[in-house]
Amino acid sequence: MKIIFALPTLLLAALSASSQVSVSHLLTENLPDPISVDSKLPRLSWQLSSPDRNELQTAYEIQVSDRPSGGGSVWNSGKVASDHSLFIDYGGPAPEAGKKYFWRVRVWDNKGRSSEWSKMASWQMGLLTPADWKAQWIQAAGKEEPSQPSPLLRTAFTANNGIASATAYITAHGLYEAQLNGHRVGDAYLTPGWTSYQKRLQYQAYDVTGLIHPGKNAVGAMLGSGWYRGYIGFEQQHNFYGSDLSLLFQLVIRYKNGHTDTVVSDGRWKSSLGEVLHSELYDGEIVDHRKEQKDWSLPDFNDGSWGGVETAASPKDNLIATINQPVTKHETIRGSKLLTTPKGEKVIDFGQNLTGWVTVKIKGRTGDSIRLSHAEVLDKEGNFYTDNLRRAKAQDVFILKGGEEEVFEPRFTFHGFRYIRVEGSTGPVDPADFTAVVLYSDMPKTGEFTCSNTLIDQLQHNIQWGQQGNFLDVPTDCPQRDERLGWTGDAQVFSRTATFNRGVDNFFTKWLKDVAADQRPNGAVPFVIPNVLGDGASAGWADVATIIPWNLYLAYGDKRVLENQYASMKAWVEYMHAQSPNDLWNTGFHFGDWLFYRPFDDNDGRSAVTDKYLIAQCFYANSTQLLINAAGVLGKSEDVDTYTALLKRIKDAFLREYMTPTGRLVSGTQTAYVLALQFDMLPEPLRKQAAERLVKNIQDYNYHLTTGFLGTPYLCHVLSRFKQTDVAYRLLLQDSYPSWLYPVKMGATTIWERWDGIRPDSTFETPGMNSFNHYAYGAIGDWMYRVVAGIDTYEDDPGYHHSRIWPHPGGRLRSAAADLETGYGKLSSHWQLEEDTLHVDIVVPANTTSTVYIPAPEGGLITEGGHNLSTVKDVRIEGIEKGYLMVKLGSGNYRFRVSQ
C-alpha cells in the first residue's frame, strides 16, 4: 500500500520543486565567505534560479546572525520590496573587528512564490583600526649581508584545548611567505601584493584553524625584497618604498569557551637565514638547498643558534584588508620539448607564453647547480633571445644539496616566458623534470568567446593569456622586461575586454583606490600606478580615472565604485580644465596614439600620425562625459549641469581647432576619425561623412588598421555604429601586417606590444621596447563579445540587468558564441548558420530581462522552440530595426530559427 501512495507523493514533490525559485551564489563584497572585510557596510549579493522563464524577484529578506545556526539575530532586513539582488548594503549595527557573521536570504518572485531560505553564507571582519593590531613590526637584528638573502623569522607558542577557529593576519615590507607547524599558510603568492604602500598596505587574513593544535605550535615567515625595496622601474631604482624587510603578524585563536589567544610578532621572535640567497622580481632568485633549515617552522626546531629581531615603529595606519583575489597558481605545463639551438643552448619550449616560473625536479651532487634563463621568443636563427628583456636578468639559479631527488621552486620573483634555457652541472636535461607554473590574480573566469574561424579563436586565446599574464595583483603592461608597471593607458584601453573574460571588479576596485591615492593634489594622474615614475599626466593614460570606474559600473552594476572614485574622476576633469584656457587642452606632454602604424622609409607619408592635442581634446570630452554620467547615477544634479555646459564648450573648441568647414579633421588618420566619432565630437549631421572618410582611409591602406593604443579599442565599434560592420570584419580577418591576425599567423600565443614585434622576415622590432605579452591591442575582444556575438548591457540598467543581445553574423563566419557569467548568472548568445537557416540560441539569467535583435530577412520565417514567433507567449515583439526583429525576453533558454 505504502508504495502505491508514495509514487504520487514523490511526483508531487518533484513537480512543486520544479516550479520553485531558489537562491544561491551568496557573495559578500563580491567574494564567497571572505574573512577580511573592512568595509563598514558590507554588500551582499545572490543569484536566483528557476526552471521557469520570466523569473523576476519582487522582494527579499536577509537575516544576519553571529551564529552558524542562524540564531542570535544581528540584523533582519524584513521583507523588502525590491528587484535588487546585487550589492545590497548590510543595514545592521556596525560590524566588529575580527567577528564572523552568518547570513542567508530568501526571495519572492513575480509569480507569487517564495523561495526557501538560502544556504548560510558568512563573512568575517578584518582588523579595522591600527588599535586592532597588537603585533609589532619586526625585522632580523643586525646588519644585513650585501647580497640580501631572505631572512627567516620564527617563534613558538602554546594553544589550549577546544580551539574553535584561528585566523592569521599577515603583511610585510617586502614579500612574505608564512608557515605554521611546517605547512605553508594559504595558497597566495607575492603577498602582500602591490599597492601604493606608504598610503595603503594590504594585509591578508588566513583561516588557519586546521594548522593549529592544542599544545606546542610554531610560526615562521620568510621575507623577500619584492616591489617594496627591490629593483623596480627601468631606472634601476632600489628601495623605492624603504630599505627594510619587516613582518607584521597577528594570530587570533578563538576557543569554544569564548576565550581568545593572540600570538603576535614582537621582540621575542628569532631570526636566521635560509635557502633563498637572493631574489629580485626582474632578475630572478637564487636558492641553495645546502642552506635549507629543515623543519624551521616546527615547534621542536632548535633555534638556539638563531639571532634576535628588532621591533620597528613602522606605521600601521596605512594597513588595509585585501579585497582583490590574491595571486595564486593556475595552469601547469610540463616540459615536453627539448631543443638544441644552433648556438648549442639547451632550451625547453612550453608552447605557451606565460607568466610564472618553472619548478625543477633534480638529482645531483652537493654544490651542483642549474641555471634557468627565461625568454619569450627564439630569434630568426632559432637561438634563445633575451634582448627584449632589457636589463631584467630573469634567471633562477638552484644549488643542490646532493643525494636524494630535490625539488626547486622560486618564491619572490616571476618571469614572462615561453622558453627556458637550462645551464649547469647536473648532467643531461630531461624536459619532463621541468614544469612551468602559471601565476596570476585569482579572478574567476567569466567569459568565453568562440567562433568558426580558428585564427580568431587563437586571437581570443591570446587575449585571455595576455590578460592572465598581466593581471598580477596590478594590471601590468608586460611581465618580462625591467618594467612590469601599472601603466594606466594600457589598463584603461583593455578594461572593458577584461570585464568579459574574468571577474575583474575587485581587482580593479583595489587598483582604482591606488589611482586615487597616487593622484596629485592638482588632479594629475601619473603614468603608472602605483606611481614609481614621478610626475606627468597624459591624455588617454590619465583618463583611467574616469574610464575604468565607468566600465566597472557598466559590467557589474556596482554603484559604489562610482561613489568611491567620484572625487578622483572629478579631480582629473578639473586638472584638464585648468590646463585648457579657452577650453582647448593643447598643453603638456602626451604619449599620443602610442605605437600607431609607421612604415620604414615613409616617402609617401603613410605613417598614421594623429595630432596629440586633437587626441587630448577627445579624451578631455570623454572624461567629462563619463563624469556627467557618474554624477547622474549618483544624483549630483549640479555637477551634471556644470559639466554638461563644459562639455559643450570642449566640443565647440574641438570643431574650431581641428575640423575644416567641410568636415575634414586636421589629422586624416583612422584614430582621429575614430575618436571624434566614438566620443561624439562632431555634430550629428557631420558624422556620416566622417565615418565615410574613416572607411575610405581603411580602404587606402587596403583594409588594414593603422591605429595605436588609443584608436584601436574603438575602431570596430565605430564602424559598426555607422553600419560598416562588414569593414570591421575585414579588419578583424586581415592577416597581414598591421592587423590582429598577423601575430597569430606568426605563431603568437599572447598579444604583442607592437603590430610587428616579429617582422614578416622574422627579424625583431627594436629590443628597447618589444614585449610579446602586452594586452592593449587585445581590446578587440570587447567588439567580439559585444558585436560579433552581440552581448551587451543597457547603460541605464547596467550589470546586464537589462541586457541587449544583438548578434552580427558576417565575416564569412559560420558561427560565433559568447557566454558570460554575469552577477545574475549565465548570459549567452550563440549563433550558427546552417544552410539557409540561422540558429540563435539565447540564455537569459533569472532576475534580468533582455532585448534581443534577431536578424530578420525580408520574407523570412522566425520560430522559437519550433513554434511560430507570434504564438510564443514569452517572446514580446517590440518592433523592427535595421533589418532586425526586436524582441523582449525574460529569463530562460530560447532557441530561435530564422529561415530565409
Contact (Cβ atoms closer than 8 angstroms) between residue 421 and residue 347: yes
Q: Cα(first)–Cα(last) distance of the chain, in Å?
A: 58
Residues 578 and 522 sit within 8 Å (Cβ to Cβ):
yes
Output 234 or 701, the one with its CB closest to ligand BGC: 234
* Angle made by CA atoms 409, 420, 765, in degrees to the nearest 5: 130
* DSSP state string for 706-731: ---TTTHHHHHHHHHHTT-HHHHHHH
How many CB atoms sit inside 10 A of residue 246's CB?
A: 25
Burial of 381 (0-12, 13-18, 19+ CB in 10 A): exposed
d(CA 787, CA 732): 12
Phi/psi for 314 (5° steps) reads -65, 155
CB of 42 to ligand BGC, least distance (A): 35
- With residue 887 as reference, give the H or E element that holds it: strand 884-889
Binder of ligand BGC out of 29, 483, 505, 639 (CB under 6 A): 483
Q: In terms of CB distance, is 717 or 774 closer to ligand BGC?
A: 774
Nearer to ligand BGC, 282 or 591 (CB): 591
Our answer to whether residue 29 is catalytic in this structure is no
CB of 531 to ligand BGC, least distance (A): 14
Interface with ligand BGC by CB under 6 A: which range of 483-491, 677-685, 694-702, 814-822?
Answer: 483-491
Q: Which is nearer to ligand BGC, 456 or 595 (CB)?
A: 595
Task: Tell me whether residue 882 is exposed, middle or buried, using C-beta atoms within 10 angstroms of its C-beta: 0 to 12, 13 to 18, 19 or more.
Answer: exposed
Rounded distance between C-alpha atoms, residue 251 and residue 264, angstroms: 6
864 close to 838: Cβ distance less than 8 angstroms: no
**Catalytic hit among 280, 376, 753, 864:** 753
Q: Please say whether the beta carbons of 843 and 828 come within 8 A.
A: yes
Q: Which of 591, 597, 658, 853 binds ligand BGC (CB under 6 A)?
A: 591
**Of the two residues 663 and 738, which places its CB atom closer to ligand BGC in the complex?**
738
- Report the distance separating Cα 203 and Cα 887, nearest Å: 49
**Residue (of 650, 532, 664, 543) closest to 586 by Cα position:** 650
Applying CB under 6 A, the span of 59-67, 93-101, 482-490, 507-515 interacting with ligand BGC comes to 482-490
Q: Is the distance from CB of 171 to CB of 319 less than 8 angstroms? A: yes
Find the part of the chain contacting ligand BGC (CB under 6 A) among 386-394, 487-495, 555-563, 622-630. Answer: 487-495
Task: Give the residue with the Cβ less far from ligand BGC, 740 or 775.
Answer: 775
Q: State in angstroms the smallest separation of the CB of 240 from ligand BGC.
A: 17
Site string for ligand BGC, 745-774 (x = CB under 6 A): ------------------------x----x
Residue nearest to ligand BGC (CB): 477
Question: Shortest gap between Cβ of 673 and ligand BGC (angstroms)?
Answer: 23
- Using the structure block, give the residue that is written with the C-alpha cell 592593449: 776
Query: Which residue, 410 or 526, has its beta carbon nearer to ligand BGC?
Result: 526
Cell for 7?
A: 509514487
675: CB partners within 8 A, 6+ apart: 614, 615, 618, 619, 681, 710, 711, 714
Closest C-alpha among 591, 606, 497 to residue 539: 591
In this structure, which amino acid lies at residue 308? G
Specify whether the CB–CB gap between 417 and 354 falls below 8 A.
yes
Nearest distance in Å: CB 390, ligand BGC: 10
Least distance in angstroms from the C-beta of 486 to ligand BGC: 10
Q: Where are the alpha helices (DSSP H) in 136-245?
A: 226-229
Nearer Cβ to ligand BGC, position 528 or 626?
Answer: 528
Report which DSSP code applies to 112: S
Following CA atoms 525, 441, 171, 492 in sequence, which dihedral angle do they give, to the nearest 10 degrees?
A: 0
Q: Which residue out of 29, 285, 483, 821 is catalytically annotated?
A: 483
Indicate the residue among 175 and 544 with the shorter CB distance to ligand BGC: 544
DSSP for 433-479, written as a single string: GEEEEEEEE-PPB-EEEEES-HHHHHHHHHHHHHHHHHEESEE-S-S
Q: Give the distance from CA 881 to its chain's centroid.
A: 36
Burial of 509 (0-12, 13-18, 19+ CB in 10 A): buried
CB 262 within 8 A of CB 251: yes
As a whole number of angstroms, the distance between CA 416 and CA 402 comes to 30
Task: Output the smallest distance, CB 774 to ligand BGC, in A.
Answer: 6
Closest approach of ligand BGC to the CB of residue 537, in Å: 13
Question: How far is it, in rounded angstroms, from Cα 194 to Cα 188?
Answer: 13
Stretch 774-813 residues interacting with ligand BGC (CB under 6 A): 774
Segment near ligand BGC (CB under 6 A); pick from 364-372, 390-398, 484-492, 726-734: 484-492
Question: Least distance from C-beta 595 to ligand BGC, angstroms?
Answer: 8
Task: Give whichever of 594 and 824 is closer to ligand BGC, judged by the CB atom.
Answer: 594
- Give the nearer residue to ligand BGC in terms of CB position, either 456 or 493: 493
Decide: is 288 part of the binding site for ligand BGC (CB under 6 A).
no
Draw the binding track, 442-481, toward ligand BGC (x: CB under 6 A; -: no contact): -----------------------------------xx---
Residue 489 binds ligand BGC (CB under 6 A): yes
Are 78 and 64 in contact, with CB atoms under 8 Å apart?
Answer: no
Of residues 594 and 831, the one with the C-beta less far from ligand BGC: 594
Q: How far is the CB of 354 from ligand BGC (least distance, A)?
A: 18
CB of 387 to ligand BGC, least distance (A): 15
Please tell me whether residue 337 adopts helix, strand or coil conformation: strand
- How would you write 497-522 as a 3-class SS string? HHHHHECCHHHHHHHHHHHHHHCCCC
Nine cell digits for residue 844 = 537569459
Which residue from 487, 742, 764, 853 is in contact with ligand BGC, where contact means CB under 6 A? 487
Closest to ligand BGC by CB, 594 vs 722, is 594
Block residue for cell numbers 618553472: 358
Member of 275, 396, 433, 490 binding ligand BGC (CB under 6 A): 490
Which of 102, 556, 594, 824 binds ligand BGC (CB under 6 A)? It is 594
CB 302 within 8 A of CB 184: no
Shortest separation between residue 781's beta carbon and ligand BGC, angstroms? 17
At 334, which helix (H) or strand (E)? strand 327-334
Quick one: cell of 80? 523588502
753 classed as catalytic: yes
State the minimum distance, in angstroms, from the CB of residue 475 to ligand BGC: 11
Binding mask 159-178 for ligand BGC (x = CB under 6 A): --------------------
With contacts defined by CB under 6 A, how many residues of the chain interact with ligand BGC? Answer: 10
Supply the residues annotated as catalytic. 483, 753
Positions that interact with ligand BGC (CB under 6 A): 477-478, 483, 487, 489-490, 591, 594, 769, 774
